[in-house]
Amino acid sequence: MYGAWGCDFWARMGEELQIIVQAEDDIMVSKGIVQYKLHADDPWTALSTQLNESPDFSFYYKWVIPTDFAPTDEAQIRVLLYDDANNETIRTSEMFSIYSNRIEASIEPTLLTYKVGQDLTYNIENDSDNTISNLEVSLLFAGGKTINSEYNVNGIVIANPYTWTIPDNNYYYSQNCELCG
């Protein structure tokens, strides 16, 4: 039921999940209902009902997944189709994950000003719902400079404090330099 996605399908809260239904009956497909549930034991909740008056039935539904759901690995979509004699056909997706889209991180230098040759020390706080796998910290000024870059597909462990020695030349001097992550 996933089309070309295969079994690694997942969705993110606050994002759009596109549901495409296409069916054909020898006389008429009269109605289609799209439902979801977040956990195996939950009751089904209706998302959309579409009526039809032809043998060919096709509709497209955009579901913006609410941001107030708890993350789950047991979400499912179900489509119920009815013909003109009220015969029912049901198709149910495999279980898939819905992840939170909340990323909240902050970066704070331990001092307000630094001089060339000094160690720039900063702390990173992460209060995200998911593991962060990519971290890049840069100084913003004309040209910019990445001072820390980490990647780990399994997630990065924040190892405060971070330190970067400011080179002992005037290349980085600026009254307007900002630390950002």
Name the β-bridge partners of 106.
Answer: 125
- pLDDT category at 46 given cuts 50, 70, 90 is very high
- pLDDT category at 18 given cuts 50, 70, 90 is very high
Instruction: Measure the CA dihedral 88/28/31/13, to 10°.
Output: 90
In angstroms, the CA 96 to CA 9 distance is 6
Highest mean pLDDT among 45-49, 98-102, 151-155: 45-49
Q: In sequence order, what DSSP letters do the residues of 134-157 get, joined into one string?
A: EEEEEEESTT-EEEEEEE-TT-PP
Q: Are strands 134-140 and 96-99 parallel, antiparallel or unpaired?
A: unpaired
- The share of the chain scoring above pLDDT 90, in percent, equals 41
- CA triplet 39, 18, 90: central angle to 5 degrees? 55
Q: Do residues 31 and 50 touch, judged by C-beta distance below 8 A?
A: yes
For the chain, domains (ranges, CATH) are 6-99 (2.60.40.770), 105-180 (no CATH)
Average pLDDT over residues 60-88: 93
Interior/surface letters 74-93, b for 16+ CB within 10 angstroms, e for the rest: ebbbbbbbbbeeeeeeeeee
pLDDT for 139 equals 78
Q: What is the CA radius of gyration of the chain?
A: 26
Interior/surface letters 30-62, b for 16+ CB within 10 angstroms, e for the rest: bbbbbbbbbeeeeeeeebbebebeeeebeeebe
Residue 48 has pLDDT above 60, yes or no: yes
In angstroms, the CA 102 to CA 13 distance is 9
CB atoms within 10 A of CB 19: 18
Q: Which of 96, 92, 71, 65 is nearest to 81 (CA)?
A: 92
93-148 tens-digit pLDDT = 999 999 988 888 888 888 888 877 888 899 999 888 888 888 888 877 666 778 88
Task: Say if pTM beats, i.e. exceeds, 0.75.
Answer: no
